[in-house]
Structure 1
Amino acid sequence: MTQRLQGRTALVTGSTSNIGRAIATALAAEGAHVAVSGRDEDRGRAVVDAVRAAGGTADFVRADLDGSSAASRDLAERALDVLGGRVDVLVNNAGIFPLHSTADADDALVDRVLAVNVKAPFFLTQALVPSMAAAGGGVVINLGSWVARLALPSSPVYSSSKGAVETLTRAWSAELAPQNIRVNAISPGVVRDSEPDGHDTLEAIMAGTPAGATGRPEAIAAAAVYLASDDAAFVHGTVLDVDGGRTGVAVVAG
């Protein structure tokens, strides 16, 4: 590795599995001290152990980001504590994706999706910006989704929540740039951390795209490393599509 993040600190929410785990692992491999965060302590400890076994630095900070400002502030405070009083890179990755239709979405589902996917990253960013600014600046990376712009006939609340996150990315970029805080987002495509078993709906969604198959979490992690590093110093308010061409290229049935 190039150690592009040597001496920096990072908090990655929802980093006990899949994309979040890959991002935390990649940031640590590039030299960052990473706070791994999630609800499952056993999985979190496993990620930390793997990072340390590879020569990196990581600590686990348990959190259940329910959308309340109190939960986000609590995570911010504990992450600052384990990271030595500074969070240079915040990755707002934690999110939920319950399958639903408009007809069957009740109050509880709508409130839960918007709380976890929008309010939690909003309040966590709010809580960490002052310390970032006091330290001279930082980086915020949000996780959007391809379904925010290329509609599917299901899960409209989830899609709208990711649209909100991508809009927040641009708003925060404008608002926080004077404090030397860069804000960008990654919009993952169809990503899986295991091999498909025969005919698979996820693989079918990627049929006819330039990639022709689902992606791996490591592809999203590579984009996060780039956006966190000085290589992306001139990148502001951008939603980086890492989706195998799903949203940018016309899919023609074979």
Structure 2
Amino acid sequence: MATTALITGGTSGIGRAVAGKLAELGVHVVVVGRNVKRGETTIADIRAAGRLADFIASDLQDASSARQVARKATELGNGQVDILINNAGIYPFGPTHEMDEGQFDKVYSLNVKVPYFLVAELAPQMAKRGKGAIVNLSTMVADYGASGMSLYGSSKAAINLLTKVWAAEYGPSGVRVNAVSPGPTRTEGTDAMGEGLERLAAEAPAGRPATADEIAEAIVFLATDRASFIHGAKLAVDGGRTAV
């Protein structure tokens, strides 16, 4: 039976790159996204290469939707999900005093609540089988104060701590939980930033934005047995920004 991976936000950008790379390794990928057309295109491309892929349409806005996605993915995976990639997220920028309660709730619902309840649903099942891998997507701005990043940065700081907590809770049962912390990355979602992305990237030693493939390589590494002795780590893939 093929290994099954659930990838949230898997129909574009980093998530889609991860789905493609895992599928190339023979993993059955289950991608989650809001846009049905984009989702169908993603799995069609993967299947065209002779790989296994399925799509679940969901906006992943609360605990209920997270549980529904987890259960559907488990069904598609013939009773199990072996890898969970918590990739879906939103990143509004702006001063704290310009953020309203609706924006706050939306960011924390998708960036924190959904991963929390996906893990709550899937990690115990992985633990029962004695093996599993969870990779959470963080961000470099969870590690330092950056103007305009109050919601995004703080939500991912929560993910950084949850990564350690989940490693402590489920690691002894064979479930590895780690995080990848990207820097500025060129994707469909960040195209709207224009030159702002280049300016942000210029602050790091690498001096340029990452590609989605570069971030995906780190995620796939942590999701597979190549990282068999890595638990509770946060891998910075930020061009060196948080190292200087």
What TM bracket, shorter-length normalisation? over 0.9
In structure 2, the CA distance between the partners of 1:196 and 1:182, relative to structure 1 (3 Å rule), is closer
Quote how far apart the aligned CAs of 1:208 are.
Answer: 4.9
In structure 2, the CA distance between the partners of 1:113 and 1:131, relative to structure 1 (3 Å rule), is same
Cα distance in 1 between the residues matched to 2:210 and 2:149: 21
Q: Deviations over 1:197-227 (max 9, x none)?
A: 9x81211112253211100000111111111
Equivalent positions of 1:166-181 (< 5 A) are 166-181=160-175
Residue pair 1:202, 1:214 contacting (<8 A) in 2 also? yes
**Does residue 92 of structure 2 align to residue 103 of structure 1?**
no
In structure 2, the CA distance between the partners of 1:196 and 1:62, relative to structure 1 (3 Å rule), is closer
Q: Deviations over 1:131-168 (max 9, x none)?
A: 21222220010000001013221030111000000110
Q: Deviations over 1:61-119 (max 9, x none)?
A: 1112112x211110011001111111110000111112232111111111111111001
Residue pair 1:86, 1:135 contacting (<8 A) in 2 also? no
Quote how far apart the aligned CAs of 1:42 are.
Answer: 0.6
Give structure 1 regions of 4+ aligned residues with deviation exceeding 4 angstroms: 194-197
Q: Deviations over 1:20-40 (max 9, x none)?
A: 111111111111000011111
Cα distance in 1 between the residues matched to 2:134 and 2:116: 11
Aligned counterpart, 1:13: 8
SS at structure 2 position matched to 1:16:
coil
Equivalent positions of 1:95-134 (< 5 A) are 95-134=89-128
Cα distance in 2 between the residues matched to 1:37 and 1:227: 20
Unmatched runs of 5 consecutive residues or more in structure 1: 1-5, 250-254
Aligned residues: 242
Cα distance in 2 between the residues matched to 1:130 and 1:236: 16
Aligned counterpart, 2:214: 219
In structure 2, the CA distance between the partners of 1:233 and 1:209, relative to structure 1 (3 Å rule), is same
SS at structure 2 position matched to 1:86:
coil
Aligned counterpart, 1:245: 240
Letter aligned with residue 159 of structure 1: G
Aligned counterpart, 1:52: 47
**Does residue 83 of structure 2 align to residue 92 of structure 1?**
no
Higher helix share: 2
Cα distance in 2 between the residues matched to 1:158 and 1:233: 30
SS at structure 2 position matched to 1:183:
strand
Unmatched runs of 5 consecutive residues or more in structure 2: none
Aligned counterpart, 1:154: 148
Amino-acid identity (%)? 45
**Does residue 20 of structure 2 align to residue 25 of structure 1?**
yes
